[in-house]
Structure formats: C-alpha cells, structure tokens
Amino acid sequence: LQQRRGLRLSAPAAIQVTVRDALNQALDEELERDERVFLLGEEVAQYDGAYKISRGLWKKYGDKRVIDTPISEMGFTGIAVGAAMAGLRPVCEFMTFNFSMQAIDQVINSAAKSCYMSAGSISVPIVFRGPNGASAGVAAQHSQCFAAWYGHCPGLKVVSPWSAEDAKGLLKSSIRDDNPVVMLESELLYGVPFEMSEQAQSKDFVIPIGKAKIERPGTHVTLVAHSRPVGHCIEAATVLSKEGVECEVINLRTIRPMDIETVEASVVKTNHLVTVEGGWPQFGVGAEICARIMEGPAFNYLDAPAVRVTGADVPMPYAKILEDNSIPQVKDIVFAVKKALNI
C-alpha cells in the first residue's frame, strides 16, 4: 500500500557477519530445511564445536541431529559415508583437515568413487568440512593445505571459501549437492567480519559450486587465489594501484570443478597471470591453473610467463618468524606482480 502511494520503503542494509557466524547460519538453515541433514564430529554438540561453528545447534536440534563422536576419524567418517549411502545427508566435521588423513580411505575409496563404480546407483551426498591450511603457531601437524590433494580426485567436489558470503553460500550448496563435497575453511578467517548483502541474508541464498568471483576488476595483471590469500591479493592490489598498476583479483571459491573460463577471460584482458596459494608449490593449485592456461586459448594472450606465489616447500615451522616466511605475504604478491610486469 505504501509503495502504491509512492513512498519509498527502505530495504534491509548489508550487515557485518563473521565467517564463523555465516557457517553457523548455513548449518542452522539446512538442518531446519531438511530433516535428513545431520552434523557429526568431535565436540560439535555439547561443547558447541571446537571453533564454535555449531554453537547452539545441539540445544536446538538434539542428539539425533548433532552428534559428538569419539576421537576416531576413520570411524566417524565411515559412519557418515554409510549414512549418506543410506539416504541421509551428513555434514562431517574434521577438527582440522590434517586429521582427515586418518579417514582418507573413507573419503576417497568409499565416498568419491562409489557413484562411478556403481554406475550411478549409489550416490553419496555428504559434506566433509573443517579448517584447512595454516593456522597460527601449531606447526607442521596442523598447517597443511589439502586443496591440491582433494582437488586431484575425481568424484569429489572441492570448495574453498574466503568471505562470509562464500562460507554461507558454498556450505548450503554443498549440503544440497548429491555428490561428496570437501569444504576447506580457514581457521584464521573464522573470526573475521565481512559485509553480507541483503541477498545473502536470505535462507534461499546459495553460491553455485564451480563459479569463481571477480573481487576487484583490473586491467594490468590477473591475480587468482582461494581462501585467505584472496584477502592478501586485495591488499596487494591496493598497494600496487598507488603505483599505477591495476590488478584484477579472482576469488576462485571452487577448486574442483575449477572455473578456468573466468580466469581465461581475465588473462585475455590483462595479458599477465599471478597465482597465489598457501599450499606447497609442487603439483599445487597454481600449477594446475598455469597448465590449463597454457593448454587453452588464453595462452596466446600472455605477454610474460605466469608466476606462482606459494607456501615454502617445507613442513610448517613452529617459530612465528619462520611461519611468516613460509606462507605468502602481501609483499611477496607485490614482488611477483612486478616480476610478471617486468617493472
């Protein structure tokens, strides 16, 4: 009625939401939407989650929907995969993806391969999620990035969010997907607030798996990253813009299937490519992007070799100064861009 009278109604504005709260919202909304969805993992229920991602969900949904498990990744991952084969939609939380190595037989041999090996008769709609990559001061056993490991395996989808919107939209899409999805989060981003649009606040908000996002348009060089390094790329782009260099920053969001078309279109425009990741250099995500660009039509538009910025080729040291030098920093990205542009 007010609209008919010509009055302008104010729409809900964008709000600041942490990645932790965005993940919590996504789990809450999907548990409410579909009774087949349940969450299991170490300390996810009564303790509200090791990182408080599942805060309040056990009190709201009870023991059958939010389940504390023993410290046995192989065991509870096997339970989750079996439940998915039986028609449920489990969300299996690893306290860190480094511990998923205990359960990699279940993730790869049971979950990833079953649909293909059964000629499509067995689907495994499951989400494996938790913190991945470097944290702070937890050394080599807790700081490895598994994007390249899981991205290597057919049968899996692999997503790697950066912002709160990424986290919420990708988790909701992953839970609704009929395939096993590995969701690689960053522990260091959990407490970071991001602007969440009015659209993303909706219970219907999802982000399509397999679609990258251009976070910052530019004309001189393409920066491609996923997870926390996306923020470093944006910071580096701000520094470089003061020197007249405009970087196009692409947030990959999905490792498998990879949206190489968005990267190609950007390289055709900028003629230069720099990839950034927290993982090790050999056989990494950046290596895959460079190979795909070289094999495709965008190669003819490159004016210089692509440059990779990666973690150091060592197990993560414990000392902070060594840790800082083992993962990409803003200065490393700035240096790589200047190398690519020969300036």
Active site residues: 73, 142
Chain position carrying tokens 């809900």: 12
| Residue 209 contacts residue 170 (beta carbons within 8 Å) | yes
| Residue 248 contacts residue 275 (beta carbons within 8 Å) | no
| Token pair of 8 as six digits | 């302008």
Question: What is the Cα–Cα distance from 177 to 284, expressed in whole angstroms?
Answer: 26
| Residue 316 contacts residue 143 (beta carbons within 8 Å) | yes
Q: How many residues does the chain have?
A: 343
Question: Helix 285-295 to helix 260-270 angle, to the nearest 10 degrees?
Answer: 70
Alpha carbon distances (Å) from 189 to 127, 135, 147: 20, 10, 17
Chain position carrying tokens 């240096």: 335
Chain position carrying tokens 């020969």: 342
Name which of 174, 160, 195, 166 is nearest 124 in CA terms. Answer: 174
| Residue 91 contacts residue 57 (beta carbons within 8 Å) | no
Question: What is the Cα–Cα distance from 279 to 313, expressed in whole angstroms?
Answer: 9
Q: Who's near 117: CB < 8 A, 6+ residues apart? A: none
